[in-house]
């Protein structure tokens, strides 16, 4: 007896029960728990017969037979019911169940289990998915489609070769980084859309950091000029957004150079903890009356123009970093990090991470430059808050960002080279 075949049969039985349970619970009149279980078993049996007898026609013939039965059942349903359901979800699910049963035998069993379980979950989420789609606006659809275009259309067709001076411009690599940044922003945007308005000021700062900490700084600085007495609250949201922006930087480092996590991450994590503690202190100084303030509606983070501009900026910083390193050595990279950090921390982080990945930059220098760029960005946002916001906001931002900048400078200066995970 082949116990492996028994396991396969048991898996098909379980998946058929799972999908059939969902269909029957949804009051589907076409097929329920018994029918889907039998279809799954029939798929496995088709695979067994095809494998054991080496006949490639058995599987497609039985598949056509299942299709014919579904067509007949649909015809009977249309004749019998006064208002029949014209959807094809159950029919497609039944055919997929048959195919999964066969694939459990003829293909990868683990992948078959994943497909069967995913189908059950997808069928179960029908109401939630419909509700989600109903709540989408035109700009939300545009964000999704733009991200799909950026990641699944543009990225695969770009050449995976290096061009230009210093051989650092790889179109596919540059666009991959664009996809990463846009993806993080889109994720934060949709989290805000569906939960951000309900969970208070902490989420406003967190989501602001995911979407754009600079945009959050501008929005809340303007808000303090229009609404009296919210300077401390705005400082908390801006500081929280900047703290999450640092966490975003760490995610970028992890994605680009996972092999360097032990050396790169600990000092950045230490800086994150310092800034998080500053946020905690600010939070407990905020009065309860301020907790109803809402985060300004963010704009669409997935715009092709913005993605293209980020790609150009990233390419320019790659060239600037390569030029500075080649002509002036590592010391010049500190100036590049400060200047680049004023405009965009993501681009300089990804550029430096690529250098560390290629082995042309030491990890101890790499994380210091990334942290320096983050501190430069903090100073820039502090100036923006002071120029656009009230005196109260400027005071609290000076406290919070001041602590963060001092801690970061001490880390860059005093962190021992042998301290890492």
Q: Which two tokens stand for residue 45?
A: 């049996």
Per-residue pLDDT band for 408 (boundaries 50, 70, 90) equals very high
In this prediction, residue 282 carries a pLDDT of 87
In this prediction, residue 225 carries a pLDDT of 75
**pLDDT of 409 strictly over 90:** yes
Per-residue pLDDT band for 110 (boundaries 50, 70, 90) equals confident
In this prediction, residue 29 carries a pLDDT of 57
**pLDDT of 233 strictly over 70:** yes
**Upper half-sphere CA count for residue 163 (Cβ side, 13 Å):** 11
Locate all alpha helices (DSSP H) within 125-230, ordered by sequence: 126-135, 138-148, 155-157, 171-191, 201-211, 213-226
Which range in 145-154, 268-277, 335-344 is most confidently predicted, on average pLDDT? 268-277
**pLDDT of 311 strictly over 70:** yes
- Nearest residue to 154 via CA among 51, 55, 302, 49: 302
The arithmetic mean of pLDDT across residues 69-87, rounded, is 68
**pLDDT of 291 strictly over 50:** no
| Percent of the chain surpassing pLDDT 70 | 87
The arithmetic mean of pLDDT across residues 271-286, rounded, is 90
Distances (CA, A) of 333 to 177, 340, 369, 373: 21, 10, 7, 10
Which range in 119-123, 244-248, 384-388 is most confidently predicted, on average pLDDT? 244-248
Dist CA 65 CA 68 (whole Å): 5
The arithmetic mean of pLDDT across residues 108-135, rounded, is 84
Dist CA 368 CA 267 (whole Å): 9
Dist CA 156 CA 384 (whole Å): 38
The arithmetic mean of pLDDT across residues 122-149, rounded, is 81
Quick one: which H or E segment has residue 372?
A: helix 363-388
Among 69-83, 274-288, 317-331, 376-390, name the one with the lowest average pLDDT: 69-83
**pLDDT of 297 strictly over 60:** no
Dist CA 196 CA 205 (whole Å): 10
Per-residue pLDDT band for 401 (boundaries 50, 70, 90) equals very high
**Upper half-sphere CA count for residue 153 (Cβ side, 13 Å):** 8
Per-residue pLDDT band for 421 (boundaries 50, 70, 90) equals low
| Percent of the chain surpassing pLDDT 90 | 16
**pLDDT of 98 strictly over 50:** yes
The arithmetic mean of pLDDT across residues 29-40, rounded, is 78
Kindly report the average pLDDT of the chain as a whole number: 82
φ, ψ (nearest 5 deg) of residue 397? -65, -40
- pTM of the full structure: 0.68
Which range in 85-89, 131-135, 383-387 is most confidently predicted, on average pLDDT? 383-387
Dist CA 223 CA 16 (whole Å): 56
In this prediction, residue 73 carries a pLDDT of 75
First-to-last alpha carbon distance for the chain, in angstroms, is 51
Q: Which two tokens stand for residue 247?
A: 């966490």
φ, ψ (nearest 5 deg) of residue 3? -70, -25
In this prediction, residue 267 carries a pLDDT of 92
List 163's β-bridge partners, or say none: 169
Between 201 and 248, the more confident residue is 248
**pLDDT of 1 strictly over 90:** no
In this prediction, residue 342 carries a pLDDT of 82
Decide if 143 contacts 301 (C-beta within 8 A): yes
pLDDT in tens, 163-200: 878 777 888 888 888 888 788 778 777 777 766 554 56
Between 271 and 340, the more confident residue is 271
């Amino acid at each position: 007896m082949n116990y492996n075949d028994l396991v396969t049969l048991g898996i098909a039985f379980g998946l058929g029960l799972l999908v059939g349970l969902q269909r029957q619970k949804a009051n589907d009149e076409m097929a329920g728990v018994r029918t889907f279980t039998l279809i799954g078993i029939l798929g496995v049996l088709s695979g067994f017969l095809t494998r054991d007898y080496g006949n490639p026609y058995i599987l497609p013939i039985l598949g056509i037979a299942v299709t014919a039965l579904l067509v007949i059942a649909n015809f009977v349903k249309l004749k019998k019911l006064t208002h029949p359901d014209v959807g094809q979800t159950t029919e497609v699910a039944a055919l997929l169940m048959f195919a999964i049963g066969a694939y459990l035998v003829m293909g990868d069993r683990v992948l078959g289990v994943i497909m069967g379980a995913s189908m059950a979950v997808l069928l179960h989420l029908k109401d939630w998915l419909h509700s989600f789609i109903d709540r989408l606006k035109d700009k939300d659809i545009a964000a999704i489609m733009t991200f799909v275009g950026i990641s699944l259309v543009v990225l695969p067709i770009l050449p995976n070769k290096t061009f230009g001076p210093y051989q650092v411009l790889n179109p596919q690599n540059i666009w991959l980084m664009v996809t990463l940044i846009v993806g993080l922003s889109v994720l934060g945007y949709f989290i805000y859309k569906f939960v951000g308005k309900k969970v208070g000021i902490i989420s406003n700062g967190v989501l602001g950091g995911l979407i754009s900490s600079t945009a959050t700084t501008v929005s809340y600085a303007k808000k303090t000029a229009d609404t009296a007495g919210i300077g401390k609250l705005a400082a908390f949201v801006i500081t929280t957004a900047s703290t999450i922006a640092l966490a975003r930087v760490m995610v970028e480092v992890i994605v680009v150079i996972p092999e360097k996590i032990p050396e790169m991450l600990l000092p950045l994590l230490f800086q994150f903890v310092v800034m998080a503690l500053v946020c905690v202190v600010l939070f407990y100084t905020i009065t309860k009356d301020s907790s109803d303030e809402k985060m300004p509606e963010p704009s669409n983070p997935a715009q092709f123009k913005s993605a293209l501009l980020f790609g150009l900026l990233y390419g320019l910083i790659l060239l600037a970093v390569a030029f500075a390193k080649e002509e002036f050595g590592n010391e010049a990279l500190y100036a590049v990090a400060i200047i680049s950090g004023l405009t965009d921390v993501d681009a300089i982080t990804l550029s430096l991470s690529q250098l560390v990945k290629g082995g042309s930059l030491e990890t101890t220098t790499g994380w210091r430059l990334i942290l320096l760029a983050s501190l430069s960005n903090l100073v820039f946002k502090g100036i923006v808050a002071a120029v656009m916001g009230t005196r109260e906001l400027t005071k609290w931002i000076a406290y919070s960002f001041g602590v963060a900048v001092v801690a970061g400078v001490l880390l860059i200066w005093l962190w021992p080279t042998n301290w890492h995970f």
